[in-house]
Structure 1
Amino acid sequence: MNASDRTPADLLRSAIAADPARPLVTFYDDATGERVELSVATFANWVAKTANLLQGDLSAGPGDRLALLLPAHWQSAVWLLACSSVGVIADVGGDPARADLVVAGPGQFDSGRACGGERIALSLAPLGRRFPAPPAGYADYAVEVPGQGDRFAAYAPVDPEEPALVVGDVELTGAELVERAGADADRLGLGPGSRLLSGKPYDSWDGLSAGLFAPLASGGSVVLCRHLDALSEEALAKRVESERVTDTAV
């Protein structure tokens, strides 16, 4: 994190400049056995493609509201940074009827249809597999994103003083988000090279901070675990050792 960082997208750019090859997000789904590791560069490429989809094909711009109906997942983290890159407000678990567009995963497709705008569906299947057929009223993210450009340039500058994130009763501008993420990183004792294991859901600021923003702000990385309660204490201890975890938030 640099003193000039004012938005989450700025944090990602600083991470790329510092060390693009280091791990940023390591994701486990303990219900399926899936493990995915994304370096800073690979994660940033997914963000760029998703931001291009958001800005280009979906015609989203600064101030638009996106209802993000996804669990703690590496693709959710990508969407959060893509929203920041475009200036779109990421409303995590928000009301689709009040949103300009919706991004939904399994179990959320029916409620997501309350959105009158564009709708994107994610299968959240291992390896980012496509749907055999996308849910009615939705485009398949796995079909739409691969052909997007690997570099992103916003049509309009993102104002760090405008709303960037809503989760529960917390609403933050980009600048407030960066400040709070940095404070959380300090509180958790995170620094460059830290590996924070988080089993918290993405339904609160604490979960989003531990599962993405605080590690990103600190120059560290996150081991993001979904369905962590399926893991025995012994298996969790082995993961902490094998992933070189320095801190935990479960």
Structure 2
Amino acid sequence: MAAPNLTVALLDPIMKRDPAGPRVTWYDDASGARIELSALTLANWAAKTANLIRDEFGLLPGSRVSVLLPAHWQTAAVLLGCWWAGTEVVLEPDPDADLALVTADRLDESADAPEVAVLSLDAFGRPVENLPLGVTDYATSVRVHGDQFTPDAAPADSPALDGRTVADVLAAASDSAARQGFTAEDRVLSTTDWATTDELLDGLLAALVAGASLVQVTNPDQDAERTERRVASEKITAHRSA
């Protein structure tokens, strides 16, 4: 029996209900950057990533991908792309990974992976300069891939996240959403990282499985007045904080 696809399970209900509304809004308070993605745009980026993983790197469902990236809108797209392609995500350096997706400052942690792609996380898609031979620049490569994707079937017990199956991940994310009180009507403000499975479940996947909209802040400013203005301007109704 084939496993349900994690990305399809997360995005399909949102796409049917509200494809154009804000889904992930990302701030970097250190630089002043703000990027907002609808579910449709997020799905397009995820599809490009899934096509990159399958067609350029040749990974099949069940392959392992080490994702060494911070909480960021591009990371959300990368994770969804990995799961759409049926691969298992691990959130740490992994000698058994078939592919590592990393930032330049963590490139040395992916030395054992046969394939490595580096993300600049630049809003304008600027490539990473002076990469070693054989290392792929994500921004350059992903843009040539299609924004539609049809997943291949994977076994029902295929792992999706650090050994957990799709069903396990969906159940854990749903439990987290219920515990935090997230609903499809919420705008969730979060300042937490996604470096561990629990952080990822509570900070990103709980919001997605609930159909909520996530406002993710990197390098959060500690100015209370600025936070209050953001809560008002973004119409925040729920919080996920460290």
Q: TM-score range by the shorter chain?
A: over 0.9
Residues matched between the structures, number: 239
2:99 aligned to 89, 98, 101, which one?
A: 101
1:151 aligns with 2:143: no
1:35 aligns with 2:34: yes
Q: How does 1:69-108 map to 2 (within 5 A)?
A: 69-95=68-94, 97-108=95-106
Distance, in Å, in 1 between the alignment partners of 2:186 and 2:156 is 27
Compared with structure 1, are the counterparts of its residues 135 and 210 closer, same or farther at alpha carbon in structure 2 (3 Å cutoff)? farther
1:161 aligns with 2:157: yes
Deviations 1:177-228 (A, max 9, x none): 1111111111111111211111111112332123321111111111111112
Q: How does 1:210-225 map to 2 (within 5 A)?
A: 210-225=202-217
Shift in Å, 1:39: 0.2
5+ residue gaps, structure 2: none
Distance, in Å, in 2 between the alignment partners of 1:118 and 1:6 is 24
- Specify the alignment match of 2:12 in structure 1: 13
Q: How does 1:104-143 map to 2 (within 5 A)?
A: 104-115=102-113, 117-143=114-140
- Specify the alignment match of 2:22 in structure 1: 23
Compared with structure 1, are the counterparts of its residues 159 and 236 closer, same or farther at alpha carbon in structure 2 (3 Å cutoff)? farther
Distance, in Å, in 2 between the alignment partners of 1:141 and 1:64 is 19
1:189 aligns with 2:181: yes
Contact 1:7 1:160 in 2 (8 A): no
2:225 aligned to 223, 234, 238, which one?
A: 234
Contact 1:202 1:208 in 2 (8 A): yes
Deviations 1:134-182 (A, max 9, x none): 344411111001110111012x21345321001xxxx311111111111
Distance, in Å, in 1 between the alignment partners of 2:169 and 2:44 is 22
Distance, in Å, in 1 between the alignment partners of 2:185 and 2:154 is 29
Compared with structure 1, are the counterparts of its residues 206 and 245 closer, same or farther at alpha carbon in structure 2 (3 Å cutoff)? farther
- Specify the alignment match of 2:240 in structure 1: 249
Contact 2:192 2:240 in 1 (8 A): yes
The amino acid across from 2:91 in the alignment is: V
Deviations 1:91-140 (A, max 9, x none): 01232x2211111103101121222x111000112333222343444111
Compared with structure 1, are the counterparts of its residues 231 and 125 closer, same or farther at alpha carbon in structure 2 (3 Å cutoff)? farther
The amino acid across from 2:210 in the alignment is: S
Secondary structure of 1:107's aligned partner: helix
Tell me the C-alpha RMSD between the 2 structures: 1.8
Q: What's the TM-score, normalizing by structure 1? A: 0.90
1:177 aligns with 2:175: no
What percentage of aligned pairs have identical amino acids?
A: 37
1:201 aligns with 2:193: yes
Secondary structure of 1:125's aligned partner: coil
Contact 2:62 2:154 in 1 (8 A): no
Distance, in Å, in 2 between the alignment partners of 1:6 and 1:58 is 20
